[in-house]
Structure 1
């Protein structure tokens, strides 16, 4: 289950880079995952989710701007991979598999990045414009992150 959660939060990172770290930070802050004794413990500090959440919200806005580069350019893709690795490592660390969680998060980020781009392109073509597709993708990323946290809470 730990590795599945890491893969799924990686997919969220592939859809929206900052949504995944914000979600895992809330999970750590709320005590849904124990990161004590790991280098990831800072994600559970009182201020961390309050810094990452506005960053995630800002990303939702900037994603809509025409000047925003493709998620598949190296810098954007790399940021999603790093976010997926860190977020996946959170779930991995909670289950005693930090490195495996990071790898699953990376795989998920690649899936989310490429799959999200393809799905958004198809939706945009169907709508005849990108904005509705982007908003749907925003909703999927946010709801998936919230669903993972809700499931995590239910399993505790």
Structure 2
């Protein structure tokens, strides 16, 4: 289940690059993920979850704007991979597998980036506009992230 959580948080990072680290930092700050004395201890610092919450909210708004570059462009794609790797590493720090889980998070981010773009494009065609598809993508990312944190919390 832990490995699957790392992959799925990577997928969320592929959908929204700041959403997954935001949720993981909240989990660390609330003590759901104990990352104290690990290389990713900063994920549990007081200001980390606040800063990432602001960035995630901004991304949810900015994503709907027409001038935002494609997530498949080099820069945004790399940000999503790093974001997924960070989330995986944070989970891995709790389970003594920081590097392996970082790789799983990065792989999930690649899948989420490419798969999310394809699904959103299909939904946008079905709706005949992008905005409803973008909102559905937001809801899916939030729901997956919240579910994963609840699963971590319970076991």
Q: TM-score range by the shorter chain?
A: over 0.9
RMSD: 0.7
* TM-score between both structures, scaled by the size of structure 2: 0.98
Gaps of 5+ in 1: none
Measure the CA separation in 2 of the matches of 1:117 and 1:71: 8
Question: How many aligned positions are there?
Answer: 155
1:134-149 superposed matches below 5 A:
134-149=134-149
The residue that corresponds to 1:58 in the other structure is: 58
Equivalent-residue separation in structure 1 for 2:6 and 2:94 (angstroms): 10
Q: Tell me how far apart the structure 2 counterparts of residues 48 and 86 of structure 1 sit (CA, whole Å).
A: 13
Give the corresponding residue for 1:96.
96
**TM-score for the superposition, normalised by structure 1:** 0.97
Whole-angstrom distance in 2 between the partners of 1:133 and 1:97: 36
Is residue 2:109 matched to residue 1:117? no
1:66-87 deviations in Å (ceiling 9; x for gaps)? 0000000000000000000001
Detail structure 1 runs of 4+ shifted over 3 Å in the superposition: none
- The structural deviation recorded for 1:89 is 0.6
